[in-house]
Structures are given as C-alpha cells and as structure tokens.
C-alpha cells in the first residue's frame, strides 16, 4: 500500500468547479445560483466530506440549489429525474440534518441560515479563489493533485485537543513527530489534520503532501518524488544526481512554498539492518530541521529514533507529541459504532486497551467471531488479546530496538505487577533493576524516560505522596510475561549472535 497524496489547500485545488469535479451529470443542473455561491458551495461540500467521508450527492446538490432559488420540492422534482417522495422524504431530511451539524452552531439549518453561511464563506474566500484561479493559469505554478490513499477518516471520533494543538504546532515548528504505539491512531490523526486544514484557508499552506514510508524507500527516491510534487517558482535546470545536492533543491522548494509534508510510518526506516540508509536519513532530517524554510514536516512513528530523541532532550526542534488512546467518550462512540451496547462492559474494554482504537476493533471482532457478539460470555472468560499489529510492534521492539536496560525495566515492572500491586515506585524499580544489571542510575533514568515517551510504560504521580509510580498497560504486561517469541528474556543471547554474524 504505497500512499502518496498531494492536495493543495486554500480550496484552489480539488474543487475548482463544483460541477466539473463531480462529473458531467452535475453540469446538467437546472438551477443556477451564480458563480460566487457555486464556489462557496465547494466549501460546504468539503465540510460534508470531512464529517461523513462522502461528498454531497447529485440529489443533495439539486436540493441545495433549489432551496437557494426558492423552489419548492415539487419544482425541484419536476426539473429532475428523481421522484418527489425520494427528494422530500429520503434525501432532504438527512441533508438538513448534516448541514445543521456542520454549520448550524447548535441550531437547525434551513434555507435562510444556509444563505447566510454561504454569503459569509463567500465574502471570506472569494478573493482567495480569484487569486488562486489566477495562479492556476500561471505556467510557473504547477501545483497539482496526485491521487493516492490516506487513512479513511469517515468514522473519526474525539481528538479535538490534539487537532487544535497540532494546528498551533504546524505554524511554529519545522518538524513535529507524532509518536505512539501500533494502532493508537497516529496516521488517522494526521489524515484528519490534513483534511481540516485543506478547508481552512487561514492556515496558509500551499501544498499538503502525504507520503508513506512503509516500504522504506531509498532516500534519493523519496527526495526525487518530493521535488516532483513541489513545483519550483522559477523554472530550474536539470536535477543534480547527488543526494545532498537534491536535498538542497528540496529545501529551496520548501522555502519558496509553504508545505505540510506528512511522512507516515517513519519507523519503517528502522527495521532491518540498513545502517547506511538510517545514517543518510538522519542527515536528511537534520538538514530539514536546521536549515531555514517555511514548511513543516510531520512524522508519524511507533518509535522515537535516537537522533530525534536527543534533539528533543536538548529542547531543540523537533516538537514531539505523544499520542495516547482515544478518550473514554470517543472510544465509547467507536465501540457503539462497532455494535457493542453494554456501556459497563465497554468501559472495561476501554480501560484494558487504553482506548487504543485498533486494539478495541480487534477485540470486538474476536467477540463477534468466538462469542457470537455476546459480551457477557466474553467477560466470563476474561483474557487480554493482542492484535497482530501490536504484537508485531512488540516483537520489533524487543527483538531489535530496546536496550538491555530498557528490557530489564519492563521485566521488573511486569513481575512486580503480577506479584503484588498494580504500580511500582521509582525507588523500588531502581533497586530491582540494579539487582539484575550493573548500570548507573542516570542510565536507568534515561531508559525510563525513553520508554515513557514511546508509551511502553505508564507513569503517574501518587496524589498523596507525590511519588512517581510506574505501570504497564495490560497488553504489554501480557506480552512481557508470556514472552511469546522468546525475545524478552532470551534476547541478550540472540542479540550477541546477530551482531557477531
């Protein structure tokens, strides 16, 4: 699944004409509401898409335009190929519902409110549209839309805080990394951000780019692709062959155009033993972070690469945002949508899986498969399930990425939780790790910090003693205790072998 997606923001891109975007059939529309409002309708169309993952249908457009032309449903039906019953009873009620949700500000939207909204949008954006239309005819401006897949956001819950924080960050920083465990929703969040800013002209991005690194492309190929996606302001001579020179060209483009560049699944670069490629990428990111430009790089990653971690600790850019599971309300919506109705049981699942949407979906799938959807029966046979993706991530972590100290910390935590209570104090953890490994306290602290940043261990302050306590989420605890691939305890031996070979 190679994913490239380029969208230009400020509305100039995907919907230059509402009719032409939806194809021939819409150009046959019988009602005319003027070009200006037609353009404003594009905004409504985008908002509808964000809300429900589907653009306005032909019938819905007819109803909106008919309403704005003061036509009754009968008249709209007569001028169309649809029956009055279908328009009035099936399509219209749902259409006004969704419009009320999107632009109603808590009130029901009718014809008048819709007019008002379109006029406001129009006032705000018409100048922008005009400018962009002019830009489009400029042969030097080759901004284009390249087809590709970004995660589906048609069913998106919660994350309001993260989205508004991210919108602030993308205006202040050149590099932001979204770090979190498998399936927690990093890519979906980045996709939602892109969708939202593509209809919010004030964010001022000229170009939105989505690129998945799942297949760990060669750096030179990636740069070549990015250069192609961001057109130069002035015509340029042929591309240099050397990677560093190509990076310089890319940075020049990122200076001249304000781009939001999402590099998804960044952790793929750290799989396998291609150290040369890692070094190359490391240098590339250093340059992107340190050299002047007006664009923003948004990375999503399951792991926090050492390079970036060092910069975070030194409080340099890049900005790092730890992504946790969905909050209870959002996770509850997700479970209800998946068909679970027992609120109490849902709460238990949310707590166990820490609101991780992928884990929750996987567990519901298994409840449906093995217990015929009977949550009661599932809870009578309680077990903590681990999704394939989560397990693959932990295999990768324990097999390749975690240090001996980090592993030992996790083992001690798991043992302590199984033996006694749910959490361990810092001093206790320090003692236990020290009994097993002779490492300095500062090394243990650094290891704990990195595990926390990657959401592999949980920490919180005891409200009474103010002491910091640590814990493991159930899925990780189960993996550490069961050690399904022998990577948790037997890794010391296999790691040495791997290095020697």
Ligand X SMILES: Nc1ncnc2c1ncn2[C@@H]1O[C@H](COP(=O)(O)OP(=O)(O)OP(=O)(O)O)[C@@H](O)[C@H]1O
Footprint of ligand X on residues 170-189 (CB under 6 A)? Answer: 180, 182-188
Confirm or reject binding of residue 456 to ligand X (CB under 6 A).
Answer: no
Q: Which of the choices ligand X, Mg ion, none does residue 38 contact, using the CB cut-off of 5 to 8 A by kind?
A: none
Q: Is 389 in the site for ligand X (CB under 6 A)?
A: yes
Q: Which CB sits closer to ligand X, 31 or 479? A: 479
Specify which residues 260 forms β-bridges with.
208, 296
Give which of ligand X, Mg ion, none residue 232 binds (C-beta under 5 to 8 Å, depending on kind): none
Q: Is 148 helix (H, G, I), strand (E, B) or coil?
A: coil
Binds 43: which of ligand X, Mg ion, none (CB < 5-8 Å by kind): none
d(CA 400, CA 387): 20
Which one of 358, 363, 386, 451 is in contact with ligand X (CB under 6 A)?
Answer: 358
With CB under 5 to 8 Å by kind, the binding choice for 151 among Mg ion, ligand X, none is ligand X
SS (H, E, C) 342-381: CHHHHHHHHHHCCCCHHHHHHHHHHHHHHCCCCHHHHHHC
- Residue 13 phi/psi, 5-degree rounding, is -85, -85
- C-beta of 191 vs 312, nearer to ligand X: 191
Rounded CA gap, 208 and 443, in Å? 40
The entry of Mg ion, ligand X, none near residue 182 (CB within 5 to 8 angstroms by kind) is ligand X
Which residue is at the shortest CB distance from ligand X? 185
Nearer to ligand X, 10 or 192 (CB): 192
CB atoms within 10 A of CB 415: 15
**DSSP output for 215-233:** T---HHHHHHHHHHHS--S
318 cis-preceded (ω within 30 degrees of 0)? yes
Residues contacting residue 431 through CB under 8 Å, at least 6 positions apart: none
Q: Tell me: does residue 266 bind ligand X (CB under 6 A).
A: no
Please choose, from the candidates 330, 328, 310, 333, the residue with its C-alpha nearest in 3D space to the C-alpha of residue 320: 310
365 binds ligand X (CB under 6 A): no
**How many residues bind to ligand X according to rule CB under 6 A?**
23
Q: Which of 65, 211, 253, 302 binds ligand X (CB under 6 A)?
A: 302
Token code pair at residue 449 = 């910090």
Using CA of residue 459, residue 462, residue 467, residue 470, what is the dihedral sign? Answer: negative
Smallest separation, CB 264 to Mg ion (Å): 6
State the nearest-atom distance from the C-beta of 356 to ligand X, in Å.
Answer: 8
258 binds ligand X (CB under 6 A): no
- Spatial distance between the Cα atoms of 156 and 322, rounded to a whole number of angstroms: 19
Q: Which of residues 338-357 bind ligand X (CB under 6 A)?
A: 357
Least CB distance from residue 193 to ligand X, whole Å?
11
Closest contact distance (angstroms) between CB of 389 and ligand X is: 5
Give start and end residues of each alpha helix (H) in 258-403: 275-290, 306-313, 328-337, 343-352, 357-370, 375-380, 388-396
455 binds, among ligand X, Mg ion, none (CB under 5 to 8 A by kind): none
Q: CB within 8 A of 434, min separation 6: which ones?
A: 444
5 vs 117 by CB, closer to Mg ion: 5
Locate tokens 């939780």: which residue? 417
232: burial class by Cβ within 10 Å (0-12, 13-18, 19+)?
A: middle
Provide, rounded to whole angstroms, the least separation between the CB of residue 189 and ligand X. 6
Q: Tokens standing for 111?
A: 């014809």
d(CA 358, CA 371): 19
Cβ 155 to ligand X shortest distance, Å = 5
Give the nearer residue to Mg ion in terms of CB position, either 187 or 455: 187
User: Closer CB to ligand X, residue 95 or residue 182?
Assistant: 182
3-state secondary structure of 430: helix
- Give the CB-nearest residue to Mg ion: 187
CB of 183 to ligand X, least distance (A): 4
In this complex, which beta carbon is closest to ligand X, that of residue 117 or of residue 210? Answer: 210
Nearer to ligand X, 159 or 174 (CB): 159
**Contact between 9 and ligand X per CB under 6 A:** no
Judged by beta carbon distances under 5 to 8 A according to partner kind, the member of ligand X, Mg ion, none in contact with residue 471 is none
Least distance in angstroms from the C-beta of 157 to ligand X: 4
Name the site residues for ligand X (rule: CB under 6 A): 151, 155-159, 180, 182-188, 265, 300, 302, 326, 334, 357-358, 361, 389
């Amino acid at each position: 699944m190679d994913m490239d997606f380029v969208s230009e923001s400020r509305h100039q891109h995907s919907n230059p004409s509402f009719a032409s975007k939806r194809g021939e059939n819409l150009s046959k529309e019988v009602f005319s509401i003027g070009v200006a409002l037609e353009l404003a309708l594009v905004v409504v169309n985008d908002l509808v898409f964000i809300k429900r993952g589907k653009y306005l249908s032909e019938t819905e457009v007819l109803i909106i335009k008919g309403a704005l032309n003061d036509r009754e449903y009968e008249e709209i039906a007569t001028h169309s190929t649809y029956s009055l019953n279908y328009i009035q009873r099936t399509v219209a009620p749902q259409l006004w519902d969704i419009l009320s949700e999107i632009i109603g500000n808590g009130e029901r939207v009718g014809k008048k409110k819709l007019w008002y909204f379109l006029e406001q949008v129009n006032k705000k954006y018409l100048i922008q549209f005009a400018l962009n239309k002019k830009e489009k005819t400029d042969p030097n401006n080759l901004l284009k839309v390249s087809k590709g897949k970004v995660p589906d956001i048609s069913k998106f819950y919660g994350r309001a805080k993260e989205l508004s924080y991210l919108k602030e960050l993308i205006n202040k920083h050149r590099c932001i990394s979204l770090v979190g465990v498998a399936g927690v929703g990093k890519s979906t969040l980045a996709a939602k951000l892109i969708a939202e800013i593509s209809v919010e002209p004030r964010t001022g991005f000229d170009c939105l780019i989505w690129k998945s690194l799942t297949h760990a492309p060669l750096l030179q190929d990636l740069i070549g692709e990015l250069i192609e996606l961001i057109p130069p302001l002035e015509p340029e001579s042929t591309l240099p062959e050397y990677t560093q020179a190509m990076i310089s060209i890319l940075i020049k483009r990122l200076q001249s155009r304000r781009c939001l560049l999402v590099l998804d699944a960044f952790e793929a670069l750290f799989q396998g033993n291609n150290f040369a490629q890692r070094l190359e990428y490391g240098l590339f990111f250093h340059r992107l972070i340190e050299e002047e430009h007006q664009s923003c790089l948004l990375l999503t990653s399951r792991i926090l690469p050492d390079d970036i971690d060092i910069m975070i600790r030194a409080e340099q850019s890049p900005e790092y945002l730890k992504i946790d599971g969905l909050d209870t309300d959002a996770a509850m919506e997700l479970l209800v949508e998946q068909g679970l109705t027992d609120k109490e049981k849902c709460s238990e699942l949310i707590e166990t899986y820490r609101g991780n949407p992928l884990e929750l979906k996987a567990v519901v799938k298994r409840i449906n498969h093995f217990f015929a959807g009977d949550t009661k029966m599932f809870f009578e046979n309680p077990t903590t399930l681990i999704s394939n993706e989560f397990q693959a991530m932990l295999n990768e972590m324990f097999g390749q990425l975690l240090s001996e100290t980090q592993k030992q910390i996790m083992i001690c935590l798991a043992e302590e939780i199984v033996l006694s209570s749910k959490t361990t104090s810092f001093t206790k953890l320090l003692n236990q790790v020290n009994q097993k490994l002779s490492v300095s306290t500062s090394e243990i602290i650094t290891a704990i910090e990195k595990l926390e940043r990657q959401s592999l261990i949980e920490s919180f302050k005891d409200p009474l003693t103010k002491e910091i306590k640590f814990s493991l989420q159930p899925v990780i605890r189960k993996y550490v205790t069961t050690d399904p691939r022998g990577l948790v305890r037997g890794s010391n031996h296999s790691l040495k072998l791997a290095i020697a070979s």
